[in-house]
Structure formats: C-alpha cells, structure tokens
Chains A and B, each alone.
Chain A
C-alpha cells in the first residue's frame, strides 16, 4: 500500500464519518436524545459538586412529606430530605451502574463468544449449550436469583446483571466470528503463520466488533431499566445510595398521600432511558444500509 493509498483511505473514512454524523444529527429526535444523554452525564459527574455530598442525606423529620414548593421543587421524602437533591445525586449511581454493566458484560461476552466461535469444535458446542441454558431463564429473574445469592447490595446488583447480559453479546460475537472466519483475509493471515490469538484479536475482532458496539449502545437504556427494577424490588442500594429505583421504592408506601416522592425519581429513569434509546434508535437508522444515501 502506498502512502497515496493510505491517505485516500483516510479521506474516505473521514467522509463516511462526516456523512454518518450528518445523518445522525439531522434527525430531530436523535439530536434531542443526545442532548438528554449529555445532560444526564453532566449531572452524574458534576451533580455532587452542586448539591453537596452529605447535605442531601441530612434527616429533617419536621419537613417530612412536604409537597413540591419553591424551596423543595420536588418535595421531600419520609425522612425530610429534599428529593431534588437526592435525584441529582442518584444520577451518578444509575449512570455508573448502567455503563459499568454494559461495558463489563459486552467485554466478557465479546471475548468468550469470539474465542468459542474461533475455536469451534467440542468447546464451542459445550459453550453454546451452556449459553442456551442461561437463555432459558428470563433475564430479570435470573439476575434476581444471582442477587439473592450474592447478597443485597448495589455492587452485587451490578454483578448479577452482568452475569445475565453477557450471554447476548457472546452469541452475537460468536456469530460474527464464525462468519468472518471463513473469509479470505483470515486464511491469508493464518497462512503467514500467525498464532491463533493474534489472528483472532488483531485481525478478526476489529471487523467483527461493529454490531456489538451498536448493540451495547442501544442496551444502556434497557440495562438502566433493569437495574432500577431490581433496585425497586429491594435487591440493591441502602438508603444512603439514592439510586432512582430505590427512591421510587421508598416512595411507594406513600403513593396516595405523597405521590411526588415516587414520581420524580421514576420520571428521571424514564427521561434518561429515553435519551439513550433515542440515541440508539438514531444509530440503528444510520446503520441500516437501505436507508443510507
């Protein structure tokens, strides 16, 4: 490949990227979604600074269960804490859990699936049977079981979700690797005598990883809902970890008396998840080859 070829390829890639970005942002819904996501990420990272890290937890029983007012725009909960501040702090927890779970499970799934697909044979057979068995359990249910076994904590909640979600990525990756394995460039590289793991990780993976990345991005919203759900059932945080799901849980007993306690944290979950789903939707639209051009 000459230098000229290389620069031409770079040029084409840049044009592809520009076109993709154009498509992406020309869709109003997607643009809105990106804004929302960025807002929430900002909230997660900087919220602590604005709201203070211990302030929100101060008990103030005199002020308990007060409806939304100018002083407490989201009202107060049963311990007299300002819900708006709790929600802002909670952003960090929800975002962290979702992104952590998606990253970890996609990485694990990617590696295991790729190895299984590449090795093939008995190992692959056995591995896929194992994955099939895991798939026999509905996701949330299995996560619940794992969570019960590990013990109720936010971290264990994340682990239990990871232990369920990796299977999807493993299957996806395995399928991709199987398809790529047969291609000419793989045989070419193998004939050069490269060791298996290099062929897999340096050559096959970069080509096969594309759909996985898309899938992972689109999953963040779903993982957030699952995490909040498990948290709502009581499998996650302590009262000092204002994850949104558990906040809704705390508000549930007061539903008819003080609906705002459960309403606003839940609304946040909805908005954050919506943002991610909008972005994921836009991503899928760009990548649909028929809609291109």
Chain B
C-alpha cells in the first residue's frame, strides 16, 4: 500500500473514532447530565424553556436526540459557558490558543532536552552521566505536576527576588497588557510569542516567554524523564544491531554511525510516544494553568469544576479528544513515513 492509501485508510478510521467520541460525549452531556444546563442560565425567561427544548430536540427519543446533538456540534451551538460568561464556542476560541501555545512549547522543550540527554546516557552507558540521568528520569515520573508547578512558582517568581534581589519571573497571566499597548503589539495568530516575533517586537516576545517558561517547564518535566529513558534504551538496542556492526566494519566515522545510522532507527519509538504524550499534556494543563492563572482552556475547565459547570468541562473533554485523535493520526502517518518496513 502506498503512503497516500494508508493516509486515506487512517482518515476513514478517524471519522469512525470521532463518531464514537461524539457518541460518548453525547451520552455524558445529554443522558447522564441535565441537557438543559447548557442552554439555560438564570437570566433565561422560564417561558422560553419549552421552545428551547424543542429547538435542541430534547423532547424526542434518544436516538433522534443524537442527531440534534450532532447538528448542534456542527453549527457550533454549544450552549453557554457559565464560567466563561459567554457562548461556549466563543469561550473556546478565546482560551484555546493559550493552551495550544503552552502545550506546543512544552513538547518542544521535552524533545530538545530529552532526546540529547537520552543519547548521552546511551553513549555513556553505566557511567556517572547515565546514572544521573536515570535518577533524574525516575524523579521526573514521580513528581506531581501541581506540586512542581507550585514549587517553581514560589521559587522563581518570589524567592529569587526576596532572597537575592534577582528580578523574578511573572507568576501569573500570559502577557503584560500594559506593555503590549506601549509597544504597539497586535494579535495576528493568537500565539503571543509567535506574533511578537513576526512583528519584530522583541520586548513583547521576551515578556511572552517569561510568562510561558515556568508553566511549560512544569508540563514538560515529567515527559522529559520518559523521553530520556526511551531514547536511551532505544539507542542502546539499536547500537547492538548487526547493521551497526556492519557500518563499523566499513570503518565509517563514529559520528556518522551514531547520528545517522543509529539515531534514525532509535527515534522511531520516540515518535509514537510523543503523540501519546500530548494527551497527558492537555490533562496536565488543567492543573498547571490554574496554578499560574494562565488563561487557557485548562484554566477555564478548572473554574468549571469549582463552579460545577459541567457543560464547559464536557466541552473541554470533547475538544481534547478530537485534538488527541488528530495528533495521533499525524504521528501515525509520520511514523509510517519514517519506518519503511511498516506494512500497511
């Protein structure tokens, strides 16, 4: 099967899974919970309620309700977000870019730190560097994300200033609004860091980075441990292979063998794991964003939990599922491209 045929096949599978996801979220939001909660607030005129019920098919049998649900989804009529104080879809649009920026930065940090660390551990197998990175990884996967976030926040936004007078990082928020006005910053993509760089606004870029760095490290920390270990064991496994012996027997330079012949093989499992990590990041974002008051979807969901706004929570659940599925699809396709042995 050629690559594009594989892609088509996976896309059809994707649609099936998405149907399943919507079924499950439908089950949660319309069957297990009170379906009206999404569309009715304290300010709604009680006489409007029957009309609202009819509009969303809430008086119909369950299987018909599903199609009303789908229609609502496609027309992006997701109801009202109590904690967002606006239509759900608007709340999502307003808050999602922040989370996206954060998770993408977290993944970049994870890979940039984790992979080289893993390679070094493999090359210096069983020496000090290896043992150190092993302990580091073990701690990484044992640390509670929220505790790490709070500790980093305490240390870098307060203690360094109080104890040593070093300028501290900002403890909350996404960017300094006053600074944005003063430097003439304009939002283009919604990704503050990116927009600042595009506009050549380095001051703003620095500000965005300062706000992003602590939450991103918090999210990345656990995964760095995982990636390091995985790269290490994968690399060791690959270096044992016959084709590496063959390359050595031809006297190919050491660097070529490690960074071309071995690495490409070793990174294959890392690619698939990266996709899976994304889900964890979206989950961890809830805790991290709430700690740093970083105005993304995670922060919104946290408040939704506190104020019992199930609609918003379920909206986040649905979105993360969809994103997660799509990300894994991309990863699978990339994986198939990377390893030519995969039989589609």
Chain A residues packing against B (C-beta within 8 Å): 29, 129-130, 132-134, 136-142, 144-145, 148-149, 221-222, 225, 228-229, 232-235, 245, 248, 251-252, 255-256, 259, 262-263, 266-267, 269-270, 273-274, 277-278, 281
Contact B150 A248 (CB under 8 A): yes
B residues whose Cβ falls under 8 Å from a Cβ of A: 16-17, 20-21, 23-24, 28, 32-33, 135, 138-139, 141-147, 150-151, 153-154, 158, 278-280, 282-284, 286-287, 290-291, 301-302, 305-306, 308, 310, 313-314, 316-317, 320-321, 324-325
Q: Judging by beta carbons under 8 Å apart, are A141 and B282 in contact?
A: yes
Q: Bound state CA distance, A13 and B263, in angstroms?
A: 40
Known A-B contacts A229-B144, A255-B150, A278-B138; A149 and B32 likewise in contact (beta carbons under 8 Å): yes
* A266 vs B147: C-alpha distance when bound (angstroms): 6
7 A-B residue contacts at CB 8 Å?
Answer: A139-B280, A139-B283, A144-B313, A251-B150, A263-B151, A267-B147, A277-B138
Looking at the complex, which one of A133, A144, A233, A270 makes contact with B143 (CB distance below 8 Å)?
A: A270
- When A132-B20, A137-B21, A255-B153 are in contact, do A232 and B283 touch as well, CB less than 8 Å? no
Please name the residue on chain A nearest to B14 by beta carbon.
A136
CB pair A144–B150 under 8 Å, yes or no, is no
Q: Are B279 and A262 in contact (CB under 8 A)?
A: no
Which residues does chain A contribute within 8 Å of B284, judged by CB atoms?
Answer: 140, 229
Is B305 in contact with A245, judged by CB distance below 8 angstroms? no
Give Cα A29–Cα B142 distance, bound, in whole angstroms.
Answer: 14
Residue of A nearest to B310 (CB): A148
Tell me whether B279 and A138 are in contact (CB under 8 A).
yes
Known contacts A148-B305, A221-B142; is-contact A141 B283 (Cβ 8 Å): yes
Nearest CB of A to B270, in Å: 18
* Partner among A129, A233, A255 whose Cβ is within 8 Å of the Cβ of B154: A255
Chain A nearest CB from B136 CB (Å) reads 12
**Chain A, Cβ-Cβ closest to B313:** A148
Measured between alpha carbons, how far is A136 from B279 in the docked complex, in Å? 9
Cα A277 to Cα B284 in complex, Å, equals 20
A142 adjacent to B317 (CB under 8 Å) = yes
Q: Which residues of A contact B151 (CB under 8 A)?
A: 263, 266
A136 to B153, CA, bound (A): 32
User: Which A residues touch B310, using CB under 8 A?
Assistant: 148-149
With a CB–CB cut-off of 8 A, which chain B residues contact A142?
317
Could you tell me the distance in whole angstroms from the C-beta of A209 to the nearest C-beta in chain B? 25
Name A138's contact: one of B16, B24, B33, B280 (CB within 8 Å).
B280
Asked if A136 contacts B17 (CB within 8 A), the reply is yes
Say which residue of A139, A144, A266 sits within 8 Å of B146 (CB atoms): A266
Alpha-carbon distance between A248 and B17 when the two chains are bound, in angstroms? 37
Cβ of A141 and Cβ of B154 under 8 Å apart? Answer: no
Minimum distance in angstroms from A40 CB to a CB of chain B: 13
Q: Name the distance in Å between B16's Cβ and chain A's nearest Cβ.
A: 8
User: Contact: B321 with A141, CB < 8 Å?
Assistant: yes
- Contact A229 to B145, CB < 8 A, known contacts A132-B17, A248-B150: yes
Best-surrounded residue of B21, B146, B302, B310 (most CB of chain A within 10 A): B146
Query: Measured between alpha carbons, how far is A259 from B153 in the docked complex, in Å?
Result: 11
Given A137-B321, A273-B143, 19 other A-B residues pairs in contact with their CB atoms under 8 A:
A136-B321, A137-B24, A137-B317, A138-B280, A138-B320, A140-B280, A144-B286, A149-B28, A233-B287, A233-B302, A234-B306, A235-B305, A248-B144, A255-B150, A256-B158, A266-B150, A267-B147, A270-B139, A277-B142
